Amino acid sequence: MRSNSRKRFWFCGNWKLHKSVAESVALATTLREHLSATLLGSHDVVVAPSTIALAPVAHCLHGSGIQLAAQDVFLAHQGAWTGQTSAIHAHEVGCRYALIGHSERRQTGDTEDDVAGKVRAALQAGLFPVLCLGETAEQHRASKSFDHLAQQLHNAFAGLAPQAVTTCLVAYEPLWAIGTGLPASPEWAQQVHAFLRKQLETWGTMVAESLRIVYGGSVTHHHVKKLMEQPDVDGALIGGAALTAHSFGDVINEAIS
């Protein structure tokens, strides 16, 4: 049984396309002022601004201990790919992580093969991939959650060496919970996370034990504590509640209280 005491949680605010560049810098500045050095030394706090805001936000957060994630990166590193974001460029401007396969990217065209390629591209660029996966409401109702999640996990990591998989994170984000105000119950999140961890034994028990599996989908300060108390929940990917420094801070403080 995994222990929750002394767990280093991973919290990421996914700003999606909600903030202008100026607003992103302003929010990063406020977070920098308000999040304590003790908190940032004990847990990982990450923000994921829009691609165009990455460089200015990186500049603003430099030396703060708050880390940066790209919301997506492309399969190829360079070439004739109009409009894409290179994982190498994301790394170059200061990103440590890249969200890969977020359901909002999958809904706008990312296939399972794209997701697998993006995981590899991120790894090659020296980024830590955060593989997002989750089932739809229909799959959930039809009791197909576990089959779907296993398929997404294995497709994304197939053929990767254990050393590569161990640098990734997995974010379980059920589509029926994202932006709905109705998060998964702590019991359901635990059941799914434990299942995913079992699946990760494909890459060895060390990988399965150490890889961080975070939950996303309508996380607020009301629900976060019980979710984070689950032994297999290692953090949260937070959308709506990360859009102000106040609510993001509330979620984190409640989680670690």
Catalytic residue, from 89, 104, 135, 173: name it: 173
Is 223:183 a contact under the CB 8 Å cutoff? yes
What is the rounded radius of gyration, in angstroms, for the C-alpha atoms of the chain? 17
E strand segments, 206-248: 213-216, 235-238
Residue 219 interacts with ligand PGA (CB under 6 A): yes or no: yes
Determine the Cα–Cα distance for residues 233 and 31; give it in Å rounded to an integer. Answer: 24
Query: Binding ligand PGA by CB under 6 A: which of 46, 58, 95, 237?
Result: 237
Say if residues 169 and 130 touch (Cβ distance below 8 Å). yes
Q: How far is the CB of 81 from ligand PGA (least distance, A)?
A: 25
* Interface with ligand PGA (CB under 6 A), residue from 149, 178, 196, 233: 178
Q: Verify binding: residue 72, ligand PGA, rule CB under 6 A.
A: no
Q: Is 187 a catalytic residue?
A: no
**Minimal distance in Å, beta carbon 58 to ligand PGA?**
20
Torsion (CA) 197, 198, 204, 206 in degrees, nearest 10:
50
Is residue 141 helix, strand or coil? helix
Minimum CB distance to ligand PGA, residue 87 (Å): 19
Contact map string, positions 116 to 155, toward ligand PGA, x by CB under 6 A = ----------------------------------------
Q: Is 217 in the site for ligand PGA (CB under 6 A)?
A: yes
Reported as half-sphere exposure (CB side, CA atoms, 13 A), residue 159 has a value of 7
Is 201 one of the annotated active-site residues of the chain? no
Q: What residue ranges bind ligand PGA (CB under 6 A)?
A: 14, 173, 178-179, 216-219, 237-241
